[in-house]
Structure 1
Amino acid sequence: MTIGEALKETRKNLGLSQTEMAYPILTKSYYSKIERGIHEINASDLIKILEMHDIDISEFLTKCGVKDNRIDKEYWGEQLSRAYYDQDLNKVKELELEIPNIKTDNYTKDLLKSMIILNKANLKGSIDTLPNEIKKHVKSLIFKAENWNKENLSLFSISLPLWSDQEMKPIVTSLLKKYINIENFPREMQILVSSIMVNYLSLLIRSSSQNLDLVEDIFILLDNLSVKPLNCFGKIMKNFYRAYFQGDEKKIQDILDFFTNNNMNKISEILRVSI
């Protein structure tokens, strides 16, 4: 049974329409073609759809006879992001123990281990006190690959506090040039690049940096994100930081209230502290 056939069977068992099964992760049109075997589904979107409907991932993969190593890595990454958002240090430690079981190359495992180290340090508030050898290792890992993939971008995004203004600026400048037409890049890359830009803006504010040359270019990039539900956060954060730099306290408060009123108190609390 193919993944598309398994999705169709599972959807019918749940009594869902194609729109109910896939939205807001995929459009009905695209999802329909996956069920019919015309398009493939990437690992991240598959995991999100399965989790959205509380479908056991292992059972689903067994049903369609698929053992895709990317699923393990994608699922692990999703769990790490969720644990960090939930401020769940114990879950991060559990995920650290799973790294040896992820079937990927040693370089990628090293990237994942570094993500764990930085996430634990961020949750403990101790990232500034990491040993210099760890900081150097993280930086060297990021630049080891000629072409940055999702793992490199993810690691860079959470490692920003390790870099000086002088180190970060050329990297961010390079990313702004590469992703100038960001709306044409895959959804996952849009999310990762916008996350880097949002984290960079946050760091500029927290460090009271005067190096604000790239701020307007970052706002333009975030403006150009494709109009998709998963890009909403990047666009909202663009409005938040633009309001901050313009001194618009009412708009800042409106955005903080929006997060609070929609049960996203942790985001609101983090933003209040950051400014």
Structure 2
Amino acid sequence: MTIGQLLKQYRIESLKTQKEWAGNTISTSYYSKVEKDQHRITAEDLIALLRANNIKLWEFFGKLSQEDKVKYDENRDIGEAINEAFYHNDKDQLKDIKNVIANSEIVDKEDQLLFIDALIALVGNHVEDLDEKERIKLKEKIFNISNFDENKLDLYCNLMPFYDLDSNLLISRRVITQFRHSGSSNVQETILGIAINMLIMCIEKSRYEETKFFIQAADQISTKPNLFFYKNCIFILKNIVNYHYGRKDEYLNKARMAIDHISSLGMPEYSKDMKDILDKYGKN
């Protein structure tokens, strides 16, 4: 049974119309095509749809045909759903996705489960909730990599909170040096993400001298439309660093302007995070 066929079965059993079943998740016309297998639904929308209709993910996926289950699990949309849940600090959704992965047949299932356990622990800053053995395994995955590839680079960016500052300084300088001249947009995004994380950590620990390397590395990456958000965050953090050395209110004003810009573009969570950093460390 395909995803579309199974959704239709659940909907009919619940005595709902397509409009009632789709709700505010996706348009009724699009959902109609999903039921007919004319369009595939993204992981993010499927999870939202099932949760809105009180359907357990692992129950739903257990009824899928093996072919459709594997096809879905291997699709990159599951990664997008994980990122979306993590961005919104939605621990319940991350747990739902974990159950989907646990009941899948993907080759790297154990690594995926370890990774999502790490993200669940990171939500709400509860790293201590992760078993010590799991933390060691996560760290070994990074330290045992002699040469980072694109996937491992992205993994490290997400798992940076599991390392102390000195370990992160060692790893991040190595990978940024290795990838700083890459022409890949995905790699450039990750490098900027690592630089942002390091600047925040250095500011929090008053290690301002260490920020120079990361600011210079970020500045060497040309600003492109897909990198604008990351560059905006770098701009905010750079002005907090500049204020530390120069004590000019213009630096704080520039940072506030950029934070307001993030909020106005519909990213309130990131805007709040940056504002908290500015309020806490902007006058230090």
TM-score by structure 1 length? 0.67
User: Which structure has the bigger radius of gyration?
Assistant: 2
Alpha-carbon distance in structure 2 between the residues aligned to 1:244 and 1:219: 12
Counterpart in the other structure of 1:170: 170
Counterpart in the other structure of 1:266: 269
AA matched with 2:198: Y
Spell out, residue by residue over 1:217-247, the C-alpha distance to the aligned partner (whole angstroms, 9 max, x if none): 2222222334432111121111111001011
- The one of 197, 207, 230 aligned to 1:210: 207
Query: Are the equivalent residues in 1 in contact too, given 2:74–2:106 (CA < 8 A)?
Result: no
Counterpart in the other structure of 1:188: 186
How big is the shift at 1:95?
0.9
3-state SS of 1:125 partner: coil
Counterpart in the other structure of 2:199: 201
AA matched with 2:203: I
Alpha-carbon distance in structure 2 between the residues aligned to 1:102 and 1:211: 45
Q: Which runs of 5+ in 2 are unaligned?
A: 1-29, 42-66, 244-250, 279-284
Query: Are the equivalent residues in 2 in contact too, given 1:180–1:221 (CA < 8 A)?
Result: yes
3-state SS of 1:175 partner: helix
- In the alignment of these two chains, the number of paired residues is 214
Counterparts in 2 of 1:1-275, with a 5 A limit? Answer: 59-60=38-39, 72-100=74-102, 104-105=106-107, 108-128=108-128, 130-182=130-182, 184=183, 186-206=184-204, 208-210=205-207, 212-213=209-210, 215-247=211-243, 248-275=251-278
Aligned CA RMSD, in angstroms, stands at 3.0
Structure 1 runs, 4 residues or longer, greater than 3 Å off: 53-56, 58-62, 66-71, 100-104, 128-131, 143-147
AA matched with 2:192: S
How big is the shift at 1:126?
0.8
Note closer, same or farther for the CA distance 1:179–1:151 as it changes in structure 2 (3 Å cut): closer
Query: Are the equivalent residues in 2 in contact too, given 1:161–1:203 (CA < 8 A)?
Result: no
Identity of matched residues, % = 17
Query: Are the equivalent residues in 1 in contact too, given 2:240–2:252 (CA < 8 A)?
Result: yes
Alpha-carbon distance in structure 2 between the residues aligned to 1:100 and 1:254: 44
Spell out, residue by residue over 1:34-89, the C-alpha distance to the aligned partner (whole angstroms, 9 max, x if none): xxxxxxxxxxxxxxxxxxx9996x74579xxx989697252111111111112222
Query: Are the equivalent residues in 2 in contact too, given 1:197–1:218 (CA < 8 A)?
Result: yes
Alpha-carbon distance in structure 1 between the residues aligned to 2:120 and 2:113: 11
Counterpart in the other structure of 1:31: none
Q: Which runs of 5+ in 1 are unaligned?
A: 1-52
